[in-house]
Amino acid sequence: MTASHNTFRITMAITVAMSIVVGATPFLALLPTEAAPNPIPIVSVSLYPTQLRAEVTNEEGATVRFGGNVTVEQMDWITSTVTLTGTNSAGWAISISPDSFTFQQSGTAKFTVSVTVPAGTDSTEEGNLVVTASAKVPILAPVKATASAVVTVRNSSPIPVWNLRITSPLEGAIVGSGNSVIVRGTVTFSGGAVNFVEARYCDGPWVTADGTTDWSVELDCSNFVDGPHTITARAKAEGSTSKPVYVNVTQDRKAAAAVSGNPSGTSQPVTPEEEGSEYLMPLLLVVAIAASLGGAYLYIRHRRTSTGRPDLVIHNL
């Protein structure tokens, strides 16, 4: 009886175990066969091609465009937002379209990066483009990835060189002894003849200067209060304008009146009446000394002559 009872118990245990395995099979089929993805998104970004050349001239710029892919791997129940930003080492304008994506599951999105190279850019310049993709999930810190590319330049026209200078007044000079300031300078342009030079005092009107290679102009400063001001000059040629040049001055009417009223770096012409005045005082001094010595000599000689002679006696007849 005991042996039969044990056999029965073993049989029942095997039956129950098989039932559990058979019943759980549908649930086991639902489990993933591979490891679950990381709950933190994995972001990657790429640019193509990795180098483009901008064809520019001195009159026209160019825009180059890169394609891009941003990929996010994440669990399906996570929603992440990816933001794209760009920088360029040359400082050229950059735009990214679109610059933001929302991923509700793993996937890849495409975007375009446009880089605008201005006219007149030298062929020796290049800009390193860097695009950063930042994936943000609520609560978690953002995950970032970057991609880079290079923009080179080919300028099909020669680059003219401007050399514009303000020679007077000098930087930091005190001006304002009158109602105007005389500004002088020089200019050269490798691209051809200079049409004209113009200058302004602070935010006053532009005034055309006399001359080009060596130029000068009188700027009205009567409407400006004492204090720091800026003198600006620029030059123009056919199809080209120089970059402005600046000189910072201090307008101080009292201080300027105490010194020479001539513009810095100039000299006042000498009038004919003044030309020999610097020798007049020394000449008068020499004449005075000679007269004094001559008078003293005559006096001493007269005394000696008088003492060496007998006194004359005149008798009345």
Q: What structural domains and CATH numbers belong to the chain?
A: 42-155 (2.60.40.10), 162-258 (2.60.40.10)
CA 187 to chain centre: 22
165-218 pLDDT, tens digit each: 999 999 999 998 788 899 999 999 988 899 999 999 999 999 999 999 999 999
DSSP state of 36: P
Mean pLDDT of all residues belonging to the chain: 81
Q: Residues of the chain with pLDDT > 70: what percent? A: 74
Phi then psi dihedrals of residue 23, to 5 deg: -70, -30
Say what the pLDDT of residue 237 is: 92
Say what the pLDDT of residue 102 is: 94
Provide the token pair at 290: 């000679």
Say what the pLDDT of residue 274 is: 47
Q: Is omega for the bond preceding 282 within 30 degrees of 0, making it cis?
A: no
Closest to 195 measured CA to CA, from 245, 232, 243, 238: 238
Query: Which residue numbers in the chain have pLDDT < 50?
Result: 1, 21-22, 24-36, 261-275, 310-317
- Are 211 and 185 within 8 A, CB to CB? no
> What's the rounded Cα separation, in Å, for the pair 124 and 146?
26
Distances (CA, A) of 295 to 146, 285, 291, 292, 300: 103, 15, 6, 5, 9
Say what the pLDDT of residue 220 is: 92
71-100 CB burial, b ≥16 within 10 A, e <16: bbbbeeebebbbbbebebeeebebebeeee
Say what the pLDDT of residue 6 is: 62
Say what the pLDDT of residue 239 is: 82
Burial of 221 (0-12, 13-18, 19+ CB in 10 A): buried
- What SS3 class is residue 46? strand
Handedness of CA 295, 296, 297, 303 (dihedral sign): positive
- Are 67 and 110 within 8 A, CB to CB? yes
> What's the rounded Cα separation, in Å, for the pair 242 and 194?
10
